[in-house]
Structure 1
Amino acid sequence: MANGAVDRSEGFGERLLGLLLDRARLLPPQLIGPLIAEEVARIGGRDVSILLQDYAQELLVPLPGRKLHVSQPEPVADSAAGRSFLHAEVVEVKQTHGVRMYLPLLDGSDQVGVMSLTLDTIGDDDRRLLGRLASLVADILVTKNAYTDQFFLARRREPMSVSAEIQWGLLPPLTMSIPQVAVAGILEPAYRVAGDSFDYALNDNILHIAVIDAMGHGLDAAAMATIAIGAYRHARRVFVSLAEKYAFMDDAISRQFGPDHFVTAQLMHINIATGEMELVNAGHPAPLLIRDRQVVQQLESATTLPVGFGGEAPRVRQHMLQRGDRVLCYTDGIIEEHVDGGEPFGEERLVRCINRLGQEPSQGVRADLRQLSHTLKRERGGLTSDDATLFMVEWHGGAADHLAELD
């Protein structure tokens, strides 16, 4: 430009994305589909579908709506949509009349679902513009989800218990991935879970993690889990130590429920720059350290009473992670399910399943954890009579400062 002036004129792509941005603030949830379909039509696309993950992480379910293409749910395993979803990648499938395109809907790094559409032909400009459109659509879906039941109802494939409703409302995003660290979690049984929950937050270089299991079933367990997670978040947000987090939770549960109720918990801090890890294990199965896709040890810590029993201040155990290490937390519903004529499933079988799956190439934390969860369920004969939760962390280290720099 003359005199060093910057070109601020609006091009086709900016107009297309800008229209969605400009209208998003006032757009009612039921009009998201029609507007997205109109935007895709401007690029020459058709048959637009918004596919959302069901709560059991088995299907991608089409969001109903005017101008949206609604077909049968697609399996997360063994489908083009599922591949796009699990691996956060664009998948293109040639058809008789054009190309079917599947674009992951990513809210940050959490996979919301998949947007699919058909174009006669696809060029690099189409790929770039549609990729950015999919990112914007994901952000809008997450924002609107806060005040509509439309997306919840699409994702629900069977009746859900009140306790499960409470637990799903407590959860953070099921996955997070940044250059230094990735996390993923899964709850079973999806529609009846009661006392299991997990929470995490990344504050500066410290990843804060809690995995809990409230005693009992139904609303009583869900209420305890709610109090425990609430107390944990409060303690985390006033910047107290790991031992003090335990004390906050212990006091809240004992005051609210008395001496006969308790919550087992794992509390962790992981420095994502260095791999230093602090662990408090309060009556929970010990986490497993997975290195090179094989279990190498349990991450033991000093004995600490479950939350709610008024235990002494816990001793914090230090561990040091290596790049690529995974830490797997799980609740006792995974290993205490009775199989084979009454025998508990057991930790040895859990480790064997992890190691067997570890002989296959990794598909990423989310896909690997989902595969492990479904494999364990098959190994238990499809039984999940108690809450069964898995939560995995993969540490890479390094820095992400380059992402804040413009080329």
Structure 2
Amino acid sequence: MGEESVDRSEGFGERLLGLLLDRARQLPPQLIAPLVAEEVARIGGRDLSILLQDYAQELLVPLPGRKLRVGQPEPMADSPAGQAFLRADVVEVPQAAGGVRMYLPLLDGSDQVGVMAVTLDAVADDDRRLLGRLANLVGDMLVTKNAYTDQFFLARRREPMTVSAEIQWSLLPPLTMSVPQVSVAGILEPAYRVAGDSFDYALNDNILHIAVIDAMGHDLDAAAMATIAIGAYRHARRVFVSLAEKYAFMDDAISRQFGPDHFVTAQLIHLNVATGEMELVNAGHPAPLLIRKNRVVRQLESATTLPVGFGGEPPQIREHTLQQGDRVLCYTDGIIEEHLAGGELFGEERLIRCVNRLSAEPSEGVRADLRRLSHTLKTERGGRTSDDATLFMIEWCGGAADHLAVLD
């Protein structure tokens, strides 16, 4: 198709996207990617690849399918695809044989799903506009169709996964959320064997609700406790208001189901994204770290509260006030209680040194920075993750949401 014959006008783009949306609605999941390849070809694109992140957040793996270019997985670090994914921005790479390879992030809201890669003879602003909108639509379609198939799960899975890990991944919300006032990101290790760690969040009006939990044990019992704890938390979040009531509801659910010998440690947070006011209940977790101006300035301590399931007294809620640009890092004890080669515990001081060192480097966003921290910590531990190890980061940017455009 000659360059001069390709229509990339605004009107053509709207018709193309509308046609894709109409056709995709009734297609089975395995035909979505070939359909996208057909539509990309209509604007002169070729060699379409759809790359999804693996569960360990180390690789972007190609989705197999007709009319797709299926190559080798691309590393999240040091690859154009990884740069587009982690920064949620388009990357363009001139090709030695001619043309430009475009890497476009596939977003579901603000959560990165993967990357769409396509080659064009030349790239103009009309191409960027149309392909950007197409990538947004493809991201939404992949998330929607994921509920009906195992195809995308199988592409992302790079090694055998335990039943417990399957349960935990099915519990999780999107790993990243970003709005003008606040961003969050979470990561679980070991990705294919995690059992009792989990997290959850929801942004309801100006209140960001967060829970980070660690159910005792390393097997299906831990996964079952985590499932009930997260289910009870979500139910309470949708019924009650206070952190104390959430804690009590989770405590009752775990104790009734599992008895007095089982427990779940938890951190429960309310963050007012307009004011930076934060409420914290810490039930048996290490204290979160407050990162301000690229340094850990202190641990966010709170009054002692028994883990969930022990039938303790109502929790004491600690209040903190964040400054614009502050980050809060929550983590489970698997991060600091890993034994190093000589038998020494990894410890909080070593964690803080790693956080400070990486925070001083240029930020690429919460998700990219948290992933880099997670992999750095794993390297510092000699590659070992014998217990569940979860990281969850919050960045508060502040300001009222009144300036956001509202559609009539």
Counterpart for residue 5 of structure 1: none
Q: Compute the displacement of 1:21 (Å).
A: 1.2
Q: Partner amino acid for 1:15?
A: R
Counterpart for residue 6 of structure 2: none
Deviations 1:264-287 (A, max 9, x none): 000000000000000000011100
Question: Does the 8 A contact of 1:283 with 1:306 survive in 2?
Answer: yes
Question: Does the 8 A contact of 2:85 with 2:114 survive in 1?
Answer: yes
Q: Compute the displacement of 1:240 (Å).
A: 2.7
Q: Unaligned regions of 5+ residues in structure 1, if any?
A: 1-9
Deviations 1:329-379 (A, max 9, x none): 000000000014111100000000001112211111000000000000000
Deviations 1:283-315 (A, max 9, x none): 111000000111000000110000000000001
Counterpart for residue 14 of structure 2: 14
Alignment of 1:25-104 (within 5 A): 25-95=25-95, 96-104=97-105
User: For 1:166 and 1:340, how far apart are their aligned partners in 2?
Assistant: 31
Alignment of 1:260-275 (within 5 A): 260-275=261-276
Question: Does the 8 A contact of 2:274 with 2:401 survive in 1?
Answer: no
Q: Compute the displacement of 1:20 (Å).
A: 1.2
User: For 1:403 and 1:325, how far apart are their aligned partners in 2?
Assistant: 22
Q: Partner amino acid for 1:30?
A: Q
Q: Compute the displacement of 1:196 (Å).
A: 0.1
Counterpart for residue 7 of structure 2: none
Counterpart for residue 259 of structure 1: 260
User: For 1:339 and 1:125, how far apart are their aligned partners in 2?
Assistant: 54
Secondary structure of 1:327's counterpart equals strand
User: For 1:53 and 1:69, how far apart are their aligned partners in 2?
Assistant: 17
Q: Compute the displacement of 1:404 (Å).
A: 2.9
Question: Does the 8 A contact of 2:240 with 2:246 survive in 1?
Answer: no
Q: Compute the displacement of 1:400 (Å).
A: 3.4
Task: Please say if 1:164 is aligned against 2:127.
Answer: no
Q: Compute the displacement of 1:402 (Å).
A: 3.8
Counterpart for residue 23 of structure 1: 23
Counterpart for residue 4 of structure 2: none
Secondary structure of 2:232's counterpart equals helix
Question: Does the 8 A contact of 2:341 with 2:382 survive in 1?
Answer: no
Alignment of 1:144-155 (within 5 A): 144-155=145-156
User: For 2:300 and 2:289, how far apart are their aligned partners in 1?
Assistant: 6
Deviations 1:175-219 (A, max 9, x none): 000000000000000000000000000000000000000001110
Counterpart for residue 139 of structure 2: 138
TM-score (norm 1): 0.97
Counterpart for residue 377 of structure 1: 378
Q: Compute the displacement of 1:406 (Å).
A: 5.9
Question: Does the 8 A contact of 1:179 with 1:399 survive in 2?
Answer: no
Counterpart for residue 278 of structure 2: 277
Q: Compute the displacement of 1:401 (Å).
A: 3.7
Q: Unaligned regions of 5+ residues in structure 2, if any?
A: 1-9
Counterpart for residue 351 of structure 1: 352
Counterpart for residue 3 of structure 1: none
Q: Partner amino acid for 2:39?
A: E
Alignment of 1:229-240 (within 5 A): 229-240=230-241
Secondary structure of 1:342's counterpart equals coil
Question: Does the 8 A contact of 1:337 with 1:386 survive in 2?
Answer: yes
- Give 4+ residue runs of structure 1 displaced > 2 Å after superposition: 399-407
Counterpart for residue 7 of structure 1: none
Counterpart for residue 5 of structure 2: none
Counterpart for residue 6 of structure 1: none
Q: Partner amino acid for 2:155?
A: A
User: For 2:404 and 2:105, how far apart are their aligned partners in 1?
Assistant: 20
TM-score (norm 2): 0.96
User: For 2:93 and 2:316, how far apart are their aligned partners in 1?
Assistant: 55
User: For 2:33 and 2:143, how far apart are their aligned partners in 1?
Assistant: 14
Q: Compute the displacement of 1:97 (Å).
A: 1.7
Q: Partner amino acid for 1:140?
A: M
Task: Please say if 1:247 is aligned against 2:248.
Answer: yes
Deviations 1:374-399 (A, max 9, x none): 00000000000000000000001113
Secondary structure of 1:285's counterpart equals coil
Q: Partner amino acid for 1:93?
A: V
Counterpart for residue 223 of structure 2: 222
User: For 1:205 and 1:146, how far apart are their aligned partners in 2?
Assistant: 29
Q: Compute the displacement of 1:327 (Å).
A: 0.3
Secondary structure of 2:143's counterpart equals helix
User: For 1:269 and 1:397, how far apart are their aligned partners in 2?
Assistant: 15
Q: Compute the displacement of 1:15 (Å).
A: 0.9
User: For 2:206 and 2:20, how far apart are their aligned partners in 1?
Assistant: 34
Q: Partner amino acid for 2:11?
A: G
Aligned residues: 399
Question: Does the 8 A contact of 2:267 with 2:280 survive in 1?
Answer: yes
User: For 1:215 and 1:41, how far apart are their aligned partners in 2?
Assistant: 52
Secondary structure of 1:347's counterpart equals helix
Deviations 1:24-77 (A, max 9, x none): 221110001110001100110000000000000000000000001100000000
Secondary structure of 1:11's counterpart equals helix
Counterpart for residue 300 of structure 2: 299
